[in-house]
A and B are shown apart, each in its own frame.
Chain A
Amino acid sequence: MTEIAQIKPDRLVAVREMFGIDSELQVPAFSEREDHVPEIDPAYRFNPDVTLAILAGFMRDRRVMVQGLHGTGKSTHIEQVAARLNWPCVRVNLDGHISRLDLVGKDTIVIRDGKQVTEFQEGIVPWALQRPVALIFDEYDAGRPDVMFVIQRILERDGKFTLLDQNRVIRPNRHFRLFATSNTVGLGNLNGLYHGTQMLNHAQIDRWNIVATLNFLPRDEEIAIIQARVPGIRERSMLESMVSLAELTRNGFAAGDLSTLMSPRTLITWAENCEIFGDPGQAFRLSFLNKCDEAEHPIIGEYFQRCFDRELDAPDVQPPHAMNL
């Protein structure tokens, strides 16, 4: 326990070499890997803009929030950057029931020398604050805004944290970092995709120094990601068609024709399922079509026809002339 509190970044790495981004920046990094450092995924592709934003967070102690649609790999992005820097990293999933006690700490009963005693157990925030740890709040917009005020002060740089129960003031470790990911920009569930998100308090949103947006990736990057993840698919033309179909669903979603869209995660799942089932149509039905509203199946069938030049022959996707009207 004491070990992690002692270590600190002891070398600088060049962003150009580590992440392949055209930049002169040098980022502090740890030379030894600690238990909390995430595993490196060698196939991971970094988005230059978001990577730079996250690196700024590590380098200059900025509070960075990554916002974007689901399945675009927001949390993974932060984790993979941390993994490359050997920076210890802790992920906390927020939900509507996370309370102040969970975050700050509470009195618990422990057995000491055979006797029951109450002892204050630090919550995740004071624990992380005293260590060189990157704390990631996942689904930040699912946390209840009244509870999230707990972190109001540590959002400021050098903001000290007061433990009311203990009359103790915690000074943050110099290498503590704070990140958050969210689906919305704190304005609540506007497009009907994200039930259960909260309207955030804008006094708090305002304290995040950097808000990076990770929506859909450029086409070539997306193809490269699938290629890296599912090396079994060799045909470039099939990958192109798959990504085109995903783009059509996103456009359809933006136009209000569909109520779901294909995230990069769905695309990867589809590619993986293609390997299992051997047939892109079959795999598509199982990985995406069945998640969609039945009324939208014909529209998706049209998209599929455009991209693969054949009918998506699911039982209910028939060309309209065969439909019993």
Chain B
Amino acid sequence: MATIQQQARRQQRVEELCGAAIRALTGDPELHMRAHGLYRGQKRVPLYAPHLRTDPGADDIGGHRGASDGMALRLLHSDAELHRSLSPEEPVQRLIFELLEQLRVESLAPADKPGMAGNLERRFVSWSLQYHHAGLTGSELGILLYTLAQVCWARLNARRVVEETEDLIEATRAGIVPLIGHELAALKRNRDDQAGFAQAALTIARQVHGWIEDAGAGQSEAADDDAADAADGALKFLLDFDQQGDAGVASVISGRSKVFADAAAGYRIFSTRYDRESGAAELVRPALLGELRTRLDRLVADQGVNVRRVARRLAAMFAQPKRDGWLFGEEEGYIDGRRLTQLVSSPDERRLFRQELFQPRPHTLFSLLIDCSGSMKAHIESVAVLVDVLARALQQAGVASEVLGFTTGAWNGGRVQRDWIAAGRPKHPGRLNELSYLVYKDAETSWRRARPSIAALLKPDLFREGVDGEAVDWACARMLGRSDTRRVLVVISDGCPMDAATNLANDQFYLDNHLKEVVARHERQGEVEIYGLGVGLDLSPYYRRRLSLDLARGVDNRVFDEIVGLLRRSRPA
């Protein structure tokens, strides 16, 4: 039995593969999958055909492949602008229109990619059976939509309808096909012409809607068929076009903040007067630091991580050959003037040349930013081990590293909130808490010297709330102040930004939307690569490049392999 975390991670892996396939098929590098939806940059691509919605629990890789191939074809062969302008308002009509347009592009699958056509067919069949087995064909509307989908799919692809339900739809099919026969022929004829196809599709949609209205009027309220009601309830789900994607397993719940979107000046901060930045070691008694360090050392030793291996892999990833000095005493190369006397004294000795020496040298700054909010207390031992081992491996690999943390100086707004109340509670004050930035290790300090300071991670009473957006900005600003050619920021977090006072005074997703904006801005600028490591959950709403870590089984070599794999997979082109 797979745990929720394993499912989330499997889902993420599948989404990465599907996203890569879509990018390759369409040639658009901006596309990527997150939270079961297709996004271009930060915007969701509007795709509503029912069989493109996959269910991570029920569908296998084949289903996901079919859905992603369908999305790719839609992007390739359909003009989104034209589609939107023709799309009807009424939900049932719109659903039919979306479905037919999707079936059209799927029938255009290129002949040179037989796998695509196969995936699409398997996806459609499996979706049909899922629909049928879920009992959706039980209601009047359900069977009508189902039959329509089957008939159009069979007609466009010159295939037979799904065998299992052929008998079931026969009556409905015989009823509707004569009425829309003309349009069905037009669909097939206009497969390559979106506008012509849309006319026929709209006619069908209007007709079907008309029948449903008639049937609804004829049906008396007394006919309370439970099964049909349930099926209609499920159909409502298909008709809901504005959903942000069903929040699947262990994903962050995200939304839209009206206050943030409406504020002309963007993100606001009520006061920065009490914000602090401090070395973590200064906040803990030296004697306690010693104890914590001993504890951390024991935890690290228990995990038995092969630090040298991690270091080698990191070095291989970040290093590039650089000319660095000379190799002397070579048999060929440039003449080494200092050895010419040797040539005179012993002419047989030929090793008087020198060669340029190339050595791999990383010129990278690797920054770890840890969310020190209260909920992280539960995971902090694993995170501390992870951070300590990474810092040590990076040191061995010759990569400069920073370990930073962020939290707030007080619960529920602290002195900033008191100031706000004293100022008469002005509306939408923006961020309303004292920020506290913690530096566990800066780039100049070696891991050895920073050892006690890193152990301060284990002192949990420093952990309060978290304002992620500003923290990412702060970490990026620190990194941009140095001259390294590559900058990697890894954010370790277990959820969305959380600050009770700010959320109360603004709205629930104010900090959330700021984080999205900050990460998107830095991704666009491209000076810092930002990666999100979710502790046991998927951070896909915020970070395009992310990984959810399963720390329940301890921090072993596997975890580091995954992190290195993430960095390697998404290296900049």
Interface residues of A (CB under 8 A from B): 191-192, 195, 237, 240-241, 243-244, 248-249, 251-257, 259, 293, 295-296, 298-299, 302-310, 319-321, 323, 325
- Whether, in the assembled complex, B112 has its beta carbon less than 8 Å from a beta carbon of chain A, the answer is yes
Q: In residues 551-573 of chain B, which contact A (Cβ within 8 Å)?
A: 565, 568-573
| Chain B residues within 8 Å of A321, by CB | 10, 60-61
B321 touches A195 (CB 8 A): yes
Give the docked Cα–Cα distance between A253 and B571 (Å).
11
Instruction: Give min CB distance, B220 to chain A, whole Å.
Output: 48
Alpha-carbon separation in the docked complex, A254 to B27 (Å)? 8
Given contacts A191-B573, A309-B118, A320-B17, contact A241 B113 (CB under 8 A): yes
How far is A109 from B398 in the complex, measured between Cα atoms in Å?
Answer: 49
- Write out the residue numbers on chain A whose beta carbons fall within 8 Å of the beta carbon of B28: 255
Report, nearest first, the 8 A-B pairs whose CB atoms are least far apart. Answer: A256-B573, A255-B29, A240-B112, A309-B115, A255-B23, A248-B24, A306-B115, A251-B24
B18-47: CB near A (< 8 Å → 1, else 0) gives: 101101111111000000000000000000
Given that A255-B24, A319-B61, A321-B10 are known contacts, is A306 also in contact with B572, CB under 8 Å in the complex? no
Are A325's CB and B6's CB within 8 A? yes
Q: How far is the CA of A319 from the CA of B119 in the complex (A)?
A: 14
Q: How distant is A192 from chain B, measured CB to nearest CB, in Å?
A: 8
- Asked if B308 is at the interface of the complex by the 8 Å CB criterion, the answer is no
B69 within 8 A of A: yes
Of the candidates A299, A307, A310, A325, the one whose C-beta lies within 8 Å of that of B17 is: A299
* Chain B residues within 8 Å of A, Cβ to Cβ: 6, 9-10, 13-14, 17-18, 20-21, 23-29, 60-61, 65, 69, 110-119, 320-321, 565, 568-573
Q: B352 to chain A: closest CB distance in Å?
A: 17
CB distance from B74 to the nearest CB of A (A): 16
Residues of B near A303 (CB, < 8 A) are 21, 24
Pick from A244, A251, A302, A323: contact of B112, CB under 8 Å: A244
Residues of B within 8 A of A325 (CB): 6, 9-10, 13
Residues in chain B near residue A255, CB distance under 8 A: 20, 23-24, 27-29, 573
Q: Which chain B residue has the least Cβ–Cβ distance from A195?
A: B321
- Give A301 to B23 CA distance when docked, in angstroms: 15
* Complex: chain A residue closest to B68, CB-CB: A302
Main secondary structure of the interface of A (DSSP, over half): helix
Can you name the residue of chain A whose Cβ is closest to the Cβ of B2? A325
A253–B573 CA distance with the chains assembled, in angstroms: 7
What is the minimal beta-carbon distance from B23 to any residue of chain A, in angstroms? 4
Cβ contacts under 8 Å, A309 to chain B: 114-115, 117-118
Q: Which residues of A contact B321 (CB under 8 A)?
A: 195
Measured CB to CB, the closest approach of chain A to B147, in angstroms, equals: 29
| Smallest beta-carbon distance B558→chain A, Å | 10
Which among B14, B112, B571 has the highest number of chain A CB atoms within 10 Å? B112
B61 touches A254 (CB 8 A): no
Q: Are B17 and A306 in contact (CB under 8 A)?
A: no
Query: A307, B112: Cβ atoms under 8 Å?
Result: yes
Q: In the complex, A325 Cα to B562 Cα: how many Å?
A: 10
- Of the residues A191, A308, A320, contact of B14 by C-beta under 8 Å: A320
- CB closest residue in chain B, given A238: B112
Whether the pair B27, A251 counts as a contact (CB closer than 8 A) is: yes
CB distance from A313 to the nearest CB of B (A): 14
CA distance A256 to B110 in the complex (A): 24
Q: Is A306 a contact partner of B21 (Cβ separation < 8 A)? A: yes
CA distance A296 to B20 in the complex (A): 10
User: Can you name 18 A-B pairs with beta carbons within 8 Å?
Assistant: A240-B111, A241-B113, A251-B27, A252-B24, A254-B27, A254-B29, A255-B573, A256-B29, A259-B571, A295-B569, A299-B17, A302-B65, A303-B21, A306-B119, A309-B115, A320-B10, A320-B14, A321-B61
B116, A306: Cβ atoms closer than 8 Å: yes
Determine which of B23, B61, B565, B570 lies in contact with A252 in the assembled complex, contact meaning CB atoms within 8 Å.
B23
A307, B27: Cβ atoms closer than 8 Å: no
Given known A-B contacts A302-B21, A321-B60, A256 and B14 have beta carbons under 8 A apart = no
| CB closest chain-A residue, reference B31 | A255
Q: For the complex, what is the distance from the CA of A277 to the CA of B20, rounded to whole Å?
A: 29
A251 touches B25 (CB 8 A): yes
Chain A residues within 8 Å of B570, by CB? 256
- Chain B residues with CB under 8 Å of A240's CB are 111-112
Known: A255-B573, A256-B29, A309-B118. 9 other contacts (CB 8 A): A251-B26, A256-B570, A257-B23, A295-B565, A302-B18, A305-B65, A309-B117, A319-B60, A325-B9
List B contacts of A298 (CB < 8 A): 17
A256 touches B111 (CB 8 A): no
A248 surroundings in chain B (CB, below 8 A): 24-25
CA of A52 to CA of B134 in the docked complex: distance in angstroms? 64
Q: Does B65 lie within 8 Å of A308, measured CB to CB?
A: no
Shortest CB-to-CB span from B28 to chain A, Å, is: 8
**Which chain A residues border B23 with CB–CB below 8 Å?**
251-252, 255, 257
- A287–B525 alpha-carbon span in the complex (Å): 37
* Distance of A257 Cα from B26 Cα, bound (Å): 13
**How far, in whole Å, are A103 and B112 apart by their CA atoms in the complex?**
49
Task: Collect the chain A residues with CB atoms within 8 Å of residue B61's CB.
Answer: 319-321
Q: How far is the CA of A255 from the CA of B573 in the complex (A)?
A: 7
Residue on B nearest A319 in the bound complex, by CB: B61
Could you tell me the distance in whole angstroms from the C-beta of B548 to the nearest C-beta in chain A?
A: 11
Say yes or no: A241 contacts B568, CB within 8 Å: no
Query: Would you give the shortest CB distance from B459 to chain A, in whole angstroms?
Result: 34
Q: Given the complex of chains A and B, what is the CA–CA distance between A11 and B485 in angstroms?
A: 56
Whether B571 contacts A306 by the Cβ 8 Å rule is: no
Q: Which residue of chain B has its CB nearest to the CB of A310? A: B115
Complex Cα gap A325–B548 (Å): 12
Q: How far is A168 from B118 in the complex, measured between Cα atoms in Å?
A: 72
B contact residues around A244 at 8 Å (CB): 110, 112-113
Closest B-chain residue to A249, C-beta based? B24
Bound form: Cα–Cα A257–B18 in Å: 12
Determine the residue in chain B with the shortest Cβ distance to A236. Answer: B112
Query: CA of A85 to CA of B24 in the docked complex: distance in angstroms?
Result: 41
**A158 CA to B107 CA in the complex, in Å?**
61
When distances are taken between beta carbons in the complex, the residues of chain B under 8 Å from A195 are: 320-321
A206 to B282: give the CA distance in the assembly, Å: 59
B115 in contact with A307 (CB, 8 Å): yes
Chain A residues with CB under 8 Å of B110's CB are 244
Is the pair A302, B573 in contact by a Cβ cutoff of 8 Å?
Answer: no
User: Are the CB atoms of B115 and A295 closer together than 8 Å?
Assistant: no
Residues of chain B lying within 8 A (CB to CB) of residue A237:
111-112, 114
Once the chains bind, are B29 and A307 in contact (CB under 8 Å)?
A: no
Q: Report the Cα distance A254→B568, complex, angstroms.
A: 16
Residues of A within 8 A of B114 (CB): 237, 241, 307-309
> Closest Cβ of chain B: how far from A145's Cβ, in Å?
14
Among residues of B, the one whose C-beta sits closest to the C-beta of A241 is B112
Closest to B69 in A: A306
Q: How far is the CB of B356 from the nearest CB of chain A, in Å?
A: 8
Minimum CB–CB distance from A50 to chain B (whole Å) comes to 23
Cα A192 to Cα B573 with chains together (Å)? 8
Q: What CA separation (Å) do A320 and B117 show in the bound complex? A: 21
Minimum C-beta distance from A247 to chain B (A): 8
A195 to B28 Cα, complex, angstroms: 26
- With A248-B24, A302-B20 known to touch, is A256 a contact of B6 (CB < 8 Å)? no
Nearest chain B CB to A288 CB, angstrom units: 14
